[in-house]
Structure 1
Amino acid sequence: MALPPSHPSRLKYVSLGVLVLQTTTLVLTMRYSRTLKEDGPRYLASSAVVSAEMLKILTCFLLVFVENNYSLRAMNLLLKEEIVNKPVETMKLAVPAGIYTLQNNLLYVALSNLDAATYQVTYQLKILTTALFSVSMLGKKLGLYQWLSLLLLMAGVTLVQWPSESAGEQKVLTAGSQMVGVMAVLMACVSSGFAGVYFEKILKETKQSVWVRNIQLGLFSFVLGFLGMMVYDGRSVRQSGMFQGYSAITCTVVVLQAVGGLVIAVVIKYADNILKGFATSASIMVSTLISYFLLNDFKPTG
């Protein structure tokens, strides 16, 4: 049955709204989980990334199963045809998968060293990198007001990182970790911009289901994430297991991260990466207010 003409437009704005809510909740929850003082060991960021990919793959399998009228046979035929029988198309997803895996790990590093509000504002530089990659890779044309918006964004990022005289003792204590956090965010911005535009190019050049594409992407991300976890945290995993330090808040972070990956895919399919970036920016105000009033880890200056 054909979808009504308004369906893609409606889905675009619904997915953008869900993305704003998911981003705000994820940032605050992830920040809380990385700064929460517990008796046992803290959970491994690499393990959380792998767990989120596992959950995302399982969810996509379920959605493909539903799309194929709950027929296992039809789902198996579709996956074999689109994944196994098209190795070149499948391998194209290895590039964004590797970059997304790196980006997800960088975000944990950033949120372990920055307050939620500073992280959110600085991470919006990905709008600039996304715009630059969209112009160079997709041939998009940006108007004067769009470029002015990007310049204002850069000014905001510069101001939020400006040293504050009132930081005092806290600034001395956290200068090193803040630098690590900012560098991690900047690397994540570049990787996010390239991977997002690359993934958009793939999604819009094919009529393949967005969930099948996410299965392909997730499989590569899972393998690369698992290898990274064993390389960097292998000793901890062998000693205390992959799920060491997991709690209810950790599971919430994993679920939110998996949901975010699926929502972003829908937004990229029906909107574009630049619009996705500005929609994500709408969560800054909410994150800042909650970070200031509830978490008490952000003191705004002039």
Structure 2
Amino acid sequence: MRSRGRASRDNIRTGTDTHMSQQQQPEQQMQLKTHNSDSGPGIAADAAAAGAASAHQNGNDGSPGQGKGRGGAGVSAQLIGMVTNFGGIRFMVLMILCFQNSMFTVLRRYSLGVLKEDYSKHECLLLAEAMKMVFSAVMISRSLPRGDSATSRLSYVARKSSKMLFLAFMYGSMNILSFVALRNIGAGLFTIFAQLKILTTAMMSAIVLRRTYSSARWRALVSLMLGVLLFSEPIWNTDNRGKNVDGGSTLLGCGAVLIEVSLSGFASIYFEKVVKTDQEQMSIWERNFQLAMWSFPIYLGFILFEGGGKAGFLGGWSNTALMLSVLGAAGGLLVALSIKYGDSILKTLAVTGAILLSSLLDHYLLAGPLTPIMVIAGAQVVVAICNYTFDLTPVETKSAPSKAAADNKEMSPLVKQDSRV
């Protein structure tokens, strides 16, 4: 009798535990869904893909006895999500941008320095903008729901492109300022001033986006700027580095390049602000389509002004020039993606790393210079990039006081007076 009583109590406990475990499984599944849905914008698709892949891999068909497999699938889904999350995409985009910039620089050096090709630089840029516009239009049409018209969407995007018109105008102005600067000062002095883009980008980020960077990151940026300046020693360390171009004005040339580097920093921050915080949010492909659409007539105006290259309109083109246009279009798209998934300063770090990589490739492939000063400066650049990247101090963004808060602050004395009455 006692053994029968114990057996019945054990059966009751087993049934209760089974019932409780069946109730806990939906709760655990609901918690897992909630965790994946809270991953933030841009991560939900990656988390869903990772979960689907892990479920398919582990054979999650709901059959009994798969509890251990499901736990392994959940862990693997979280690990895959960590690898393919926002930070993973950002790292991948920045690395591709670095390699693209390096390949573009080396190929341009080979085209202009070795092959002595005389095609128009603005014609090359014009073709790159046309490629960007076509590629962005294809990506926009592919992202639309089934049944939506791509023509109507592109027409809407074109009508809402006034902010990208301002950005294209800034890029065109920077092109003109570079031309004016190089007409009045030498390439060495121009290169020295051009390194200020690193600091102007950070300063514009602090002013426009109201971001606060740690002192360690500011030191890393200054060290990065000095390292890039020393790395450019073969360019500016010439006999005529302090002389201006014949008939030119040093003051005018320096002023033009200073305005250009300031506009460069502001343009990067402006694009980041539009992409991330604009009230009318659009995809990165739509913003690229808008920018290319307005850049096209600007570069066309440059071509008409200069009368084509040395070989005339559409003259001197080659397979190398066509490849440069393809790389230029890819670079424009990668810059936009790096700003979307990172920020303007991380984009600057990737471009700076590309300077080192392209110089090494230039040295081993095209017999370019590689002096001991460049080696030391390159090490300084790498250390500065690591110091900035691995600084764990969070970047704080100060929110501007709203109008309602300001009104409440102004009305507070009246409220106090009424409360006393």
Shorter-normalised TM range: 0.7 to 0.9
Partner of 1:19: 97
Q: 1:125·1:153 contact (CA, 8 Å) conserved in 2? A: no
Deviation at 1:44, TM superposition (A): 0.8
State the number of aligned residues: 281
Q: 1:135·1:141 contact (CA, 8 Å) conserved in 2? A: yes
Partner of 2:263: 191
> How has the CA–CA distance of structure 1 residues 143 and 47 changed in structure 2, closer, same or farther, with 3 Å as cutoff?
same
Deviation at 1:250, TM superposition (A): 0.8
Q: How does 1:30-45 map to 2 (within 5 A)?
A: 30-38=108-116, 42-45=118-121
Amino acid at match of 2:266: F
Partner of 1:283: 354
Q: The residue matched to 1:245 in structure 2 has which SS?
A: coil
Q: 2:359·2:368 contact (CA, 8 Å) conserved in 1? A: no
Spell out, residue by residue over 1:11-43, the C-alpha distance to the aligned partner (whole angstroms, 9 max, x if none). Answer: 2121111101101111111222222344xx701
Task: Provide the rounded CA distance (Å) in 1 between the counterparts of 2:310 and 2:288.
Answer: 30
> How has the CA–CA distance of structure 1 residues 70 and 301 changed in structure 2, closer, same or farther, with 3 Å as cutoff?
farther
Partner of 2:204: 133
Partner of 1:214: 288
Q: Tell whether 2:301 aligns with 1:227.
A: yes
1:300 pairs, out of 371, 375, 382, with 371
Stretches of structure 2 that go unaligned for 5 or more consecutive residues are 1-42, 48-80, 374-421
Q: 2:94·2:350 contact (CA, 8 Å) conserved in 1? A: yes
Partner of 2:6: none
Task: Provide the rounded CA distance (Å) in 2 between the counterparts of 1:164 and 1:16.
Answer: 26
Q: Tell whether 2:172 aligns with 1:94.
A: no
> How has the CA–CA distance of structure 1 residues 49 and 160 changed in structure 2, closer, same or farther, with 3 Å as cutoff?
same
> How has the CA–CA distance of structure 1 residues 25 and 185 changed in structure 2, closer, same or farther, with 3 Å as cutoff?
farther
Task: Provide the rounded CA distance (Å) in 1 between the counterparts of 2:329 and 2:342.
Answer: 20
1:65 pairs, out of 125, 129, 141, with 141
Q: Tell whether 2:232 aligns with 1:156.
A: no
Task: Provide the rounded CA distance (Å) in 2 between the counterparts of 1:145 and 1:161.
Answer: 24
**Bigger Rg, structure 1 or 2:** 2
Spell out, residue by residue over 1:132-175, the C-alpha distance to the aligned partner (whole angstroms, 9 max, x if none). Answer: 1101111011101111012212322443466999x7xx745997
Q: 1:96·1:195 contact (CA, 8 Å) conserved in 2? A: yes
Task: Provide the rounded CA distance (Å) in 2 between the counterparts of 1:32 and 1:173.
Answer: 25
Q: 2:107·2:324 contact (CA, 8 Å) conserved in 1? A: yes
Task: Provide the rounded CA distance (Å) in 1 between the counterparts of 2:362 and 2:257.
Answer: 18
Q: 2:118·2:310 contact (CA, 8 Å) conserved in 1? A: no
Q: Tell whether 2:78 aligns with 1:78.
A: no
> How has the CA–CA distance of structure 1 residues 291 and 114 changed in structure 2, closer, same or farther, with 3 Å as cutoff?
farther
Task: Provide the rounded CA distance (Å) in 2 between the counterparts of 1:161 and 1:283.
Answer: 13
Deviation at 1:222, TM superposition (A): 0.7
Q: 1:197·1:273 contact (CA, 8 Å) conserved in 2? A: yes
Which gives a bigger RCO, structure 1 or 2 (Cα 8 Å, sep 6+)? 1
Task: Provide the rounded CA distance (Å) in 2 between the counterparts of 1:123 and 1:69.
Answer: 45
Task: Provide the rounded CA distance (Å) in 1 between the counterparts of 2:229 and 2:336.
Answer: 30
Spell out, residue by residue over 1:50-77, the C-alpha distance to the aligned partner (whole angstroms, 9 max, x if none). Answer: 1111111111111112212686x52122
Spell out, residue by residue over 1:204-238, the C-alpha distance to the aligned partner (whole angstroms, 9 max, x if none). Answer: 0243111111111111111111112212x13x479
> How has the CA–CA distance of structure 1 residues 300 and 227 changed in structure 2, closer, same or farther, with 3 Å as cutoff?
same
2:333 pairs, out of 234, 255, 262, with 262
Amino acid at match of 1:219: M
Task: Provide the rounded CA distance (Å) in 1 between the counterparts of 2:262 and 2:199.
Answer: 9
> How has the CA–CA distance of structure 1 residues 162 and 297 changed in structure 2, closer, same or farther, with 3 Å as cutoff?
closer
Spell out, residue by residue over 1:45-103, the C-alpha distance to the aligned partner (whole angstroms, 9 max, x if none). Answer: 111111111111111111112212686x521222233332x3xxx21111211223454
> How has the CA–CA distance of structure 1 residues 186 and 259 changed in structure 2, closer, same or farther, with 3 Å as cutoff?
farther
Alignment RMSD, CA only?
3.6
| TM-score, length of structure 1 as denominator length | 0.79
Amino acid at match of 2:100: Q
Stretches of structure 1 that go unaligned for 5 or more consecutive residues are none
Q: 2:126·2:300 contact (CA, 8 Å) conserved in 1? A: yes
> How has the CA–CA distance of structure 1 residues 3 and 164 changed in structure 2, closer, same or farther, with 3 Å as cutoff?
closer
Spell out, residue by residue over 1:81-135, the C-alpha distance to the aligned partner (whole angstroms, 9 max, x if none). Answer: 3332x3xxx211112112234546749x98xx869xx96x975542211101101
Q: 1:126·1:193 contact (CA, 8 Å) conserved in 2? A: yes
1:251 pairs, out of 306, 318, 322, with 322
